[in-house]
């Protein structure tokens, strides 16, 4: 068991930069999610922690010990790869035993631990099957068992649920989280599924172009994003370019005026960030905004709006029969309102700036 520390970790391939710089501490027993767009360096970071990629600079510490120069099997890590990477010609039991063989664990102990690991992921009875004789969710669990069987100090998961359908993903997500908490595993999980990150992890790391943009709890990132990139990446957000017109009034590039928080913003250029669930939409024949489209999502309804040339998205609980807003449809004029404090002014991010 132990914490995981990444110190100024970087990876370059020739002149191209895969990871510019990552500093991060994952506390013992904590689950941290790496989140970011495709190509931002998530997998490379994870592979450097596991020892499959040698860093160009920086250090990896596990339980305080520098493991940067150690080969993968000498590190106390267990990794689940995005594609599961099961050995297709090997049985379930042999797949799970692999890491123990690499670590020269004796046969008797190996068999016991494989059995325990398979019981843990509820695959007992399927020891002798080949991966192709398993469902996607079962293969996923073999990959989990294979990583867990070595009792890793650090558990690494690279988009472990990406090949599962939505229902199974929800189930396996809860299983992984429960296991991680029960075993107290220090865990770094890569995902680009926001919901996955929000529901599973204690803290999230938002990366962009090989750099850490912000680290925090889901609530911190959602309620207090450091910049427009984080605001737009964690949850949905209306991001409106423009300039502060006066205290509490923001003029969008289109000319539309929007109420915003009165707290003095940091100097420089600004983007107004307003979460869609904070915008209330009311039918009004003389309203200043127009409804472009209404999308029914079951419990929620999306309203695609236009306010004097500025597109806005509102998401509201679906109105019940009898509520006036139930009858709103595309083309209608509407009034929009929100609590001014919900419209935050963020500094427009400079490319490459953290
Ligand atoms: N072996 C390699 N040689 C050269 N460039 C590489 C290599 N591996 C990764 N890269 C580059 O480094 C960058 C980061 O890749 P990485 O796989 O870490 O991204 P990622 O965040 O995991 O993306 P995704 O969400 O698509 O999996 C990409 O631009 C990628 O093309
Ligand atoms: Mg990746």
Residue among 9, 19, 21, 43 whose CB has most ligand 1 atoms within 8 A, to mutate: 43
Residue 30: DSSP 8-state: -
Q: Containing domain of residue 91, as a range?
A: 4-223
pLDDT band at 203 (very low <50, low <70, confident <90, very high): very high
Give me the pLDDT at residue 214, please: 96
211 lines ligand 1 (CB under 6 A): no
User: 18 C-alpha to center of ligand 1: Å?
Assistant: 6
Give me the pLDDT at residue 107, please: 92
| Range from 82-86, 96-100, 206-210 carrying the lowest mean pLDDT | 82-86
Same domain, 211 and 272: no
191 lines ligand 1 (CB under 6 A): no
Atom of ligand 1 nearest to the CA of 41: 18
Ligand 1 atom 11, closest CA: 18
186 phi/psi in degrees, rounded to 5: -70, 115
Provide DSSP, 120-178: HTT-TT-TT--GGGS-HHHHHHHHHHHHHTT--SEEEEESTTTTS-HHHHHHHHHHHHH
Question: Rounded distance, CA 354 to CA 350, Å?
Answer: 8
Nearest ligand to residue 208 Cα: 1
User: 161 C-alpha to center of ligand 1: Å?
Assistant: 19
Model pLDDT for residues 318-352, shown as the tens digit of each residue: 998 888 888 899 999 999 999 999 999 998 865 54
Contacts of 324 by beta carbon, 8 Å cutoff, 6+ apart = 282, 283
Instruction: Name which residue leads in pLDDT, 88 or 164.
Output: 88
CATH number at residue 134: 3.40.50.300
Decide if 9 contacts 57 (C-beta within 8 A). Answer: yes
Give me the pLDDT at residue 327, please: 83
CATH number at residue 252: 2.40.50.140
Domain edge (last residue) among 223, 257, 283? 223
13 lines ligand 1 (CB under 6 A): yes
pLDDT band at 144 (very low <50, low <70, confident <90, very high): confident
Same domain, 92 and 188: yes
Q: Mean pLDDT throughout 172-200?
A: 88
Q: Taking 70 as the threshold, does the pLDDT of residue 291 lie above it? A: yes
User: 38 C-alpha to center of ligand 2: Å?
Assistant: 7
Provide DSSP, 319-343: PPTT-GGGG--TT-EEEEE--GGGS
Tokens 């306010």 locate to 307
Same domain, 160 and 242: no
Model pLDDT for residues 105-117, shown as the tens digit of each residue: 899 999 999 998 8
44 lines ligand 1 (CB under 6 A): yes
Contacts of 64 by beta carbon, 8 Å cutoff, 6+ apart = 2, 3, 5
Give me the pLDDT at residue 221, please: 94
Q: Mean pLDDT throughout 273-286?
A: 95
Atom of ligand 1 nearest to the CA of 19: 14
Decide if 293 contacts 304 (C-beta within 8 A). Answer: yes
Same domain, 142 and 256: no
Atom of ligand 1 nearest to the CA of 207: 21
Same domain, 161 and 85: yes
What separation in angstroms does the CA of 76 have from each of 155, 246, 307? 9, 56, 55
Mean pLDDT (the chain, rounded)? 91
Domain edge (last residue) among 223, 252, 281? 223
pLDDT band at 297 (very low <50, low <70, confident <90, very high): very high
pLDDT band at 353 (very low <50, low <70, confident <90, very high): very low
Q: Mean pLDDT throughout 37-53?
A: 95
Model pLDDT for residues 211-235, shown as the tens digit of each residue: 999 999 999 999 999 999 999 999 8
SS3 state at 51:
coil
Nearest ligand to residue 38 Cα: 1
By percentage, how much of the chain surpasses pLDDT 90? Answer: 69
Give me the pLDDT at residue 93, please: 95
Domain edge (last residue) among 199, 223, 247? 223
Q: Taking 90 as the threshold, does the pLDDT of residue 194 lie above it? A: no
Give me the pLDDT at residue 83, please: 73
Asked, for residue 353, whether it belongs to a domain, the answer is no
pTM (predicted TM-score) = 0.86
Residue among 39, 42, 81 whose CB has most ligand 1 atoms within 8 A, to mutate: 39
């Amino acid at each position: 068991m132990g914490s995981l520390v990444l110190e100024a970790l970087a990876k370059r391939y020739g002149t191209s930069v895969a990871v510019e710089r990552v500093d991060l501490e994952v506390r013992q027993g904590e689950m941290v999610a790496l989140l970011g767009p495709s190509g931002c360096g998530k997998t490379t970071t994870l592979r450097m922690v596991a020892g499959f990629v040698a860093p160009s600079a920086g250090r990896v510490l596990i339980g305080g010990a520098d493991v940067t120069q150690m080969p993968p099997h000498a590190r106390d890590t267990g990794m689940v790869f995005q594609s599961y990477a099961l050995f297709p010609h090997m049985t379930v039991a042999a797949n799970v035993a692999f890491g123990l063989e690499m670590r020269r664990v004796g046969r008797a102990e190996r068999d016991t631990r494989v059995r325990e690991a398979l019981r843990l992921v509820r695959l007992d009875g399927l020891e002798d099957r080949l991966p192709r004789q398993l469902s996607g969710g079962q293969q996923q669990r073999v990959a989990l068992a294979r990583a867990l069987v070595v009792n890793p100090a650090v558990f690494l998961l690279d988009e472990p649920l990406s090949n599962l359908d939505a229902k199974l993903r929800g189930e396996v997500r809860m299983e992984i989280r429960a296991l991680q908490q029960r075993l107290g595993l220090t865990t770094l999980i890569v995902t680009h599924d926001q919901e996955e990150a929000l529901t599973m992890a204690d803290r999230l790391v938002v990366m962009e172009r090989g750099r850490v943009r912000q680290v925090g709890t889901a609530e911190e990132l959602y309620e207090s994003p450091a910049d427009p990139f984080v605001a737009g990446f964690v949850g949905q957000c209306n991001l409106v370019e423009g300039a502060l017109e006066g205290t509490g009034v923001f003029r969008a590039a289109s000319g539309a005026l929007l109420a915003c928080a009165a707290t003095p913003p940091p100097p420089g250029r600004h983007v107004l960030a307003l979460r869609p669930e904070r915008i209330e939409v009311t039918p009004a024949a003389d309203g200043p905004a127009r409804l472009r489209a209404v999308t029914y999502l079951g419990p929620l309804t999306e309203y695609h709006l236009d306010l004097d040339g500025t597109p806005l998205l509102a998401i509201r609980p679906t109105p019940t029969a009898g509520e006036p807003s139930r009858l709103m449809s595309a083309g209608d004029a509407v009034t929009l309102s929100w609590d001014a404090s919900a419209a935050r002014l963020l500094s427009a991010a400079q490319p490459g700036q953290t």
